[in-house]
Structure 1
């Protein structure tokens, strides 16, 4: 094919929004000409490049929208440092509980791997084509305050929960405001039997009435625990242990 012909193909791909195939089309056509490919193979290679590129872009977009705190995955998970049974971790990684719209509650002392577990599961959910949202109690309180002004809290909660898995991290670490308690209840109520919640907390859900009004806590926990897997971590803080052993930083050169 002549260069004008290649340019024409690239132009057509631009109008049909095929950026990933367009990026490789010149090389593919040159290779196809040199190796005398069948036309079907040319089409297959270009469509595969486009499909692969789109999938990569989609995953990147979902990760950005999720708002994960660090980007950690199970690649950095060390089962030897976790007090959770290996069988429990293996089951959670199947994400079958997300497909069944069940919840996960990870509770235990600070530094025992709860946040890492939730984030790694969220990252894996995105890899499997699911959508995820990462929230804190402070986020929920701000959302309620922002949308109470024009009475659009329900709409805002609906948008925030329009994903397959909602992760709410570090409940009980900081005082819970009335707005945050309301937002938490609204998210749990809106998600009940419709999508999955994964929650990390420094205290057992039975103690949530110490953080928020008893009426709200009772209604929230009732819905939260109905279809939930409760995992309790224990032991010393992994972060503190690593810091004491000199593993919290890299040596200075």
Structure 2
């Protein structure tokens, strides 16, 4: 027990009192006991890492595909299946899901984020207002580049709920910086009430043009509504 504490093997420690009597009673080979104990430690660490990655992601509601009804979504089933493979993330492609409120955009993006974490990837979640806060926080000491570098450690970055209101200048800057930093290096998933082609209606035209050019290059665009969608 003391050695498991020194070696930081908490999951082995929890199993010792049950597994050692079982191994003795069933006359396990010593190598089998070692294998089972190490497997328990590995499984415990994997589960702890999963919890930690979910916590760091900052998901808002805990919505996963377990509570997603693909038959009620306006996203075509074939499109759902293709995106759920997550292959587009490994190719550093983007996803833009566009449509009115109540069509499952945020749920879909969050469920994809959870699926990415379960597949061993890292994810982080932002609203457009979060990006404005980020810019203001790091402008004082000119550390925005470092902040973006930390965000880019994630395999998938999700920005939720763009287009309901005009984007504040700080948020527009933060969104552009994020898209520029991720361009052909990381995958972005963006949900919006407004198609990216219309972003110049809610943010400065120059920033909108530069942002959309990078965002839509190598991107999957899914347009949702109450009854059907097109890709």
Report the TM-score range of the alignment, normalised by the length of the smaller protein. over 0.9
What secondary structure, in the 3-state scheme, does the structure 2 residue paired with 1:104 have? strand
Q: Counterpart of 1:143?
A: 134
Q: How many residues align?
A: 227
Counterparts of 2:224 and 2:129, CA distance in 1 = 23
Displaced runs of 4 or more, over 6 A: none
C-alpha displacement of 1:53: 0.2
What secondary structure, in the 3-state scheme, does the structure 2 residue paired with 1:88 have? helix
Q: Counterpart of 2:155?
A: 164
C-alpha displacement of 1:161: 2.4
TM-score (norm 2): 0.97
Q: Does 1:202 align with 2:185?
A: no
Consecutive unaligned residues in structure 1, runs of 5 or more = 1-9, 237-253
Aligned runs of 1:20-169 on 2, under 5 Å? 20-169=11-160
Please list the CA deviations of residues 217-245 of structure 1 after superposition, one character each: whole Å capped at 9, or x if unmatched: 00000000011000000117xxxxxxxxx
TM-score (norm 1): 0.88
The structure with the largest alpha-carbon Rg is 1
Please list the CA deviations of residues 166-189 of structure 1 after superposition, one character each: whole Å capped at 9, or x if unmatched: 000000123311000000000000
Q: Does 1:231 align with 2:218?
A: no
What secondary structure, in the 3-state scheme, does the structure 1 residue paired with 2:117 have? helix
What secondary structure, in the 3-state scheme, does the structure 2 residue paired with 1:69 have? coil
What secondary structure, in the 3-state scheme, does the structure 2 residue paired with 1:112 have? coil
Counterparts of 2:166 and 2:45, CA distance in 1 = 42
C-alpha displacement of 1:30: 1.1
Please list the CA deviations of residues 102-146 of structure 1 after superposition, one character each: whole Å capped at 9, or x if unmatched: 000000000101001101110000000000000011110000001
User: Which of 168, 174, 177 is 2:165 aligned to?
Assistant: 174
